[in-house]
């Protein structure tokens, strides 16, 4: 089932009512648009947002499936109550190493997913869209390691970042200029991963997170 608060989205309502489960294939775009009664353009926007949220995944030339993807994707929901400073500390410890490992193990499909997030972050116009694709970028880096334990840890961090305290702090200090800067930093991380430069990927991720830390905590960073 699709878990979402956006009950006004006809695509999500249809998928909820269709009885599909994680791992079930979603009908092709033309068929799905006809069955729901919406334009394919609107359908694609909805599917893109669902993909960014990890509700669906796509395989090039094969179709779209419900769920987070073929890799084990457990979540550590209890992390949602962790404070922002602890989240940031954990990210600085873990994510540079994860980026380095992604540079060693990323498949062509992994790289395509990461690059898609980079392009989306550069193009988005609103803060909610930025939040979606920023989370998708960091999740895609973790998924590129192919390690279910790493993915579980990043899912826990994602749950923590979805908490109210982190979200309020981030929205209070991150503006359009900061989002553009972070998007460029994402590109630098991707370039290092795509070049199989583990040390470079770790350094780029660390610099990105320090930039985020400085914005969130100022002189306390």
Residue 49: its pLDDT value, please?
86
Using DSSP's 3-state secondary structure scheme, residue 57 falls into strand
Residue 219: its pLDDT value, please?
42
Q: How far apart are the C-alpha atoms of 90 and 164, rounded to whole Å? A: 18
47 and 81 inside one domain = no
97 and 205 inside one domain = yes
Q: How far apart are the C-alpha atoms of 143 and 100, rounded to whole Å? A: 13
38 and 104 inside one domain = no
> At 82, phi and psi to the nearest 5?
-75, 145
Does residue 49 sit within a domain? yes
87 and 41 inside one domain = no
Does residue 15 sit within a domain? yes
CATH, residue 214: 1.20.120.530
Number of domains in the chain: 2
- Sequence-distant (6+) residues with CB within 8 A of 170 are 131, 216
39 and 84 inside one domain = no
47 and 126 inside one domain = no
Q: How far apart are the C-alpha atoms of 105 and 144, rounded to whole Å? A: 6
Residue 57: its pLDDT value, please?
82
List beta partners, residue 63.
59
111 and 81 inside one domain = yes
Residue 2: its pLDDT value, please?
53
44 and 106 inside one domain = no
Residue 5: its pLDDT value, please?
44
One digit per residue, pLDDT tens: the chain, 221 residues?
Answer: 555 444 578 898 888 888 887 778 888 889 999 999 999 889 988 988 888 788 888 776 678 888 766 544 444 555 666 789 999 999 999 999 999 999 999 999 999 999 999 999 998 888 888 888 999 999 999 999 999 999 989 988 888 887 778 888 888 888 889 999 999 999 999 999 999 999 999 999 999 999 999 999 874 44
- Print the domain residue range for 87: 77-220
pTM exceeds 0.75 for this model: no
Residue 24: its pLDDT value, please?
83
């Amino acid at each position: 089932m699709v878990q979402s608060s956006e009950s006004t989205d006809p695509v999500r309502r249809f998928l909820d009512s269709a009885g599909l489960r994680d791992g079930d294939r979603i009908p092709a775009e033309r068929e799905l648009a006809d069955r729901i009664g919406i334009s394919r353009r609107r359908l694609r926007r909805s599917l893109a947002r669902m993909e960014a949220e990890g509700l669906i995944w796509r395989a090039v030339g094969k179709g779209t499936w419900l769920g987070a993807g073929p890799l084990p994707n457990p979540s550590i929901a209890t992390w949602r109550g962790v404070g922002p400073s602890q989240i940031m500390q954990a990210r600085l410890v873990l994510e540079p190493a994860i980026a380095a490992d992604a540079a060693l193990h990323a498949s062509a499909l992994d790289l395509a997913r990461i690059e898609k997030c980079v392009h989306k972050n550069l193009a988005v116009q609103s803060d909610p869209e930025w939040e979606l694709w920023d989370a998708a970028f960091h999740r895609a880096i973790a998924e590129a390691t192919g390690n279910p334990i790493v993915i579980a840890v990043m899912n826990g961090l994602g749950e923590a970042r979805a908490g109210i305290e982190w979200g309020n702090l981030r929205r209070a200090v991150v503006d359009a200029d900061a989002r553009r800067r972070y998007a460029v930093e994402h590109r630098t991380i991707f370039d290092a991963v795509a070049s199989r430069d583990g040390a470079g990927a770790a350094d780029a991720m660390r610099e990105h997170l320090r930039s985020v830390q400085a914005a969130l905590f100022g002189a306390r960073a």
